[in-house]
Chains A and B, each alone.
Chain A
Amino acid sequence: MKLALLADLHANLEAVEACLEHARREAAEAFAFLGDLVGYGADPVAVLDVVAAHAAQGAIVVRGNHDAAVLELGAETMHRSAEAAIAWTRARLEDRHRAFLASLPLLVRRGAAVFVHASADRPEDWTYVTDPLRAEQSLDAAAAPFVFCGHVHEPVLYFTGAASRPVPFHPVPGVPIPVPARRRCLAVVGSAGQPRDGKTAACWALWDDARERLTFHRVPYDVAAAAAKVRAAGLPERLAHRLERGE
């Protein structure tokens, strides 16, 4: 089964549509959305409708910290522009959107894989998996060969080789990486809606469990349109600028 993985969509409709279209061209048969569907971007309603439509057809969807913040769950401190975007988003959602977000689990286990927004180790803590120690903790807590997550906006594959801990690898877009189940790995798929590694192109990944291959993709999308919408919505200028710079 070819499963398309999207994380940190952040209400960026242009980016999400570009990723989904690319995923269909790459013959994706199923979809997983790894949280932070909203926040930062100017299209929360449209993005939630797209994701909910996929969920209705069986897509995996987990809740991210921005999704939780919109529901006023937890008391995580966010920086000011994120906070402003959450307040703005909250005012735009209808009951069906809130109900959809409220229905999302923090973690989904499907076969050999665990899907989570941040770490599988206490997902509600929203730990950033940015080093081998945290990757190992997430894999240990998941007790599964594969963990797919987001939260950190840069694509990285933590892979278990000869070292005692998983080692980070920065994937080359479009190159299928062999991922046999006997080598545990944790994939941070990168952000679809707000990439932060100096590149503006949206991130998504395709996992082919039958062929044991994981391919990270980058998709160029209409950044100017997404940034213009952020500005037109009166959201903080910094959020538009980030999209244009990929940082």
Chain B
Amino acid sequence: MPARLEPGVVVDGFRIEERVHEGGMSVLYRVTGGDAPFPLLMKVPRLGPGEPATSLISFEIEAMVLGALQGPHVPRVVAAREDGDPPYLVMERVEGRPLSEWAERAPLPSDEIAPLGGALATALHALHAQDAIHLDVKPSNVLLREGEAVLVDFGLAHHGHFPDLLAEEYRRPIGSAPYIAPEQVVGVRCDPRSDVFALGAVLYQLATGRYPFGAPETQGALRRRLWRDPAPPRALTPGVPEWLQEVILRCLEVDAEARYPSAAQVALDLAHPDQVSVGERGRRTRRAGLATVARRWVRAVGWEPAPCPPPSAYLERASIVLVAIATTHHDDAQAQALREAVARIVAAGGHARLACVTVVPPSPELGGSGEDDTATGQRLKHRVLLRHWAEPLRLPGTRVSFHVLEASDPARAILDYARANAVDHIVIGAPPRELPLRGMLGAVAPGVAPGAAPEPLQLLRRLGTVSMQVAAEAPCTVTLVRARRTS
């Protein structure tokens, strides 16, 4: 154990204020100094005889990986000195509550779990998109700050841009026993879907108050998750809805290929429970039978891990594609052109997920007293139209969902949806050719006036302006689709 840093000691301009945490591999201090406009933490690895040999390695990994990451889901690094005496890492002290506070209160209702899980999934996706994998996702490593999740403790992380200091010739499990993915148990450290598994284990814990695989202490016991699946959450906590069990058990699939292909797709489902395609997983009442377990066991014995592609390579095949369909406006040629464009894009990504979106005027504007005219009836009608549009694509329920957004500004609604759901690609009808493009931006027409059906030209103009605004402001790629004219 190194001499503890006492309050008042100054290290390279940072003043130690108090010791705030003492972990197995490192000690955390609250420090002041420097010119960062946020509170600071200093992490100092435990070194010397009697301390774990991997603590310096974990410390180096954290400095290397955190230093390369950006965005609101990781603490910002202020200074790092790996060869200092002591070595230290000064970073942002995230003012948030650890997810473990919620885990302690589990089982929680699904409407409390969904936003927490969604925030964690969104944070993981942001990490994976930067070619990094956390590999130690657990409630104590997740801080909730204003509804967003911040991931901490990158001591076991993997970054595709750097050599993996924890890579071994002889593969052994590295991670936290209750949450570690089956492939991590056999030493694979390069699959972002390992984080999706851990996310599933966290959701399971929040939903049932139990670990899906207990907390095994031996390597042999850890290996059991290569063939044994957990008890279905609904068998433990009957209040867990089928859709949530479907999401949790899909995250916890033994075979990474059978899990959600990206954390963003988990977030999408958690944000839209009514759009989760509930299958056998969601309705399951008991664990897999002996035959399945025996088959998995045989496979686990002969498991040879494949070479590692960069983490973000998985995401290329798992994009979320939004197609905007104007269900308020019939144009068969345009609908067909959109479908063909979407078919090409979705076919290119083997695990792409399609969100079919339409924007309708807000319900207060929908007057009338008949069944069809109520807000719910309107939403249903448009959802039916979206389904009808998507049917020829023949996508399985797990890969397509339908969203009727109510808004008076369609472009804004589509853009907000794309941002909130980490959409990678927007497909939308192009402005009509007749429409002069110059000067259109900014001149966004308001929504349809109540009771007044717009003139065809006005409608065209409105739709055209929507796609122009979406193209100009989208956080991702936009494809503008135009039906081929024979004339």
Contacts and interface: CB of A to CB of B under 8 A. Distances in A.
Q: Which 10 A-B pairs have the closest CB atoms?
A: A161-B165, A159-B163, A169-B163, A167-B167, A175-B161, A163-B168, A172-B161, A162-B57, A163-B169, A162-B166
B82 interface: yes
A180 interface: yes
Q: Pick the most buried of B83, B161, B163, B166: most chain A CB atoms within 10 A of its CB.
A: B163
A177 B168 CA distance: 19
A164 interface: yes
Contacts of B53: 162
B162 A178 contact: yes
A132 B167 CA distance: 12
B169 A172 contact: no
Contact of A161 (B82, B83, B160, B166): B166
A178 B83 contact: no
A205 to B, nearest CB: 14
A165 interface: yes
Interface in B21-66: 53-54, 57, 64
Contacts of B57: 161-162
A177 B164 contact: no
Nearest to B160: A172
Given A162-B54, A180-B83, A167 B163 contact: yes
A167 B162 CA distance: 12
A104 to B, nearest CB: 31
A149 to B, nearest CB: 17
A110 interface: no
A178 B165 contact: no
A182 interface: yes
A235 interface: no
Contacts of B169: 132, 163-165, 167
Q: Chain A interface mostly helix, strand, loop or mixed?
A: loop
Contacts of A163: 167-169
A157 interface: yes
Interface in B119-159: none
A180 B164 contact: no
A162 B163 contact: no
A12 B371 CA distance: 78
Contacts of A161: 57, 163-167
A167 B83 contact: no
B173 interface: no
Given A163-B169, A165-B169, A180-B83, A157 B160 contact: no
A169 B164 CA distance: 8
A158 to B, nearest CB: 9
A182 B82 CA distance: 10
Contacts of A157: 163
A132 B162 CA distance: 17
A167 B161 contact: no
17 contacts: A157-B163, A159-B163, A161-B57, A162-B54, A162-B167, A163-B167, A163-B169, A167-B169, A169-B162, A169-B163, A169-B164, A172-B310, A177-B162, A177-B163, A178-B64, A183-B165, A185-B163
B65 to A, nearest CB: 11
A34 to B, nearest CB: 20
Contacts of B83: 180, 182
Nearest to A161: B165
A162 B168 contact: yes
Interface string A149-193: 000000001010111110101001001011010110100000000
B69 to A, nearest CB: 13
Nearest to B165: A161
B45 to A, nearest CB: 14
A163 B187 CA distance: 12
Given A162-B57, A182-B83, A177 B161 contact: yes
